[in-house]
Amino acid sequence: MVKYMDEIEVGFKKLEQKIEELQEKRDSLTQEIRDHDTELLARMASSAVPVVRIVGLNMLRMGKQDTKGEIYDPAYYPGKMIILGKAATPAAFRPDNASKPVTDQFCVLSEEGKFFELMYSFDGFLTDSYLNPIDTKTAIEHYGYDIMFMLYRAIHDYLKGEEALVEALEKVIGYVFAKKT
């Protein structure tokens, strides 16, 4: 019985050692990912360009607001964008005009695969914005890894939708061109 207890003890110690090794490996891999997070985000952005062109939105550049808060006479940015995150605390003012406080600030990805901070200001009548170009490092620093997850979700959801569309088309084409027996 003592022999079995010794074997169990040895096995338990090996298991503890394996757990420690895996923990160290996980920590080093986590750090390695953090060391290359900007490269990963840049590659993801590049891969997402076709998705942004299809599912992106034309974002409001400027518009007037009536007394009910409805926007009229809107002007939009020419290219499409997807929103990846919102700043918890927007910048105090816009880089293009220090007299314009920022009311809302978003991290967006353009259809060219570039990151921007879309900064909106509102003076009681006019909503206008500034598209501040940022690099991947700044994007991660200001918006965290949430933007990486949102970019992943956009790509994933688009591709999943495409699979369903292809399957549906396959069924329709199979039905239309089915040979009568």
**Residue ranges per structural domain of the chain:** 36-176
Average pLDDT of the chain, as a whole number: 84
pLDDT value at residue 1:
55
Confidence band for 25, pLDDT divided at 50, 70 and 90: low
pLDDT value at residue 162:
74
3-state secondary structure the chain: CHHHHHHHHHHHHHHHHHHHHHHHHHHHHHHHHHHCHHHHHHHHHHHHHHHHHHHCEEEEEEEEECCCCCEEEEEEEEEEEEEEEECCCCCCEECCEEEEECCEEEEEEECCCCEEEEEEEECCCEEEEEEEEECHHHHHHHHCCHHHHHHHHHHHHHHHHHHHHHHHHHHHHHHHCCCCC
Q: Is the pLDDT of residue 79 over 90?
A: yes
Confidence band for 90, pLDDT divided at 50, 70 and 90: very high
36-73 pLDDT, tens digit each:
788 888 988 998 899 999 999 999 999 998 888 888 89
pTM recorded for the entire structure: 0.74
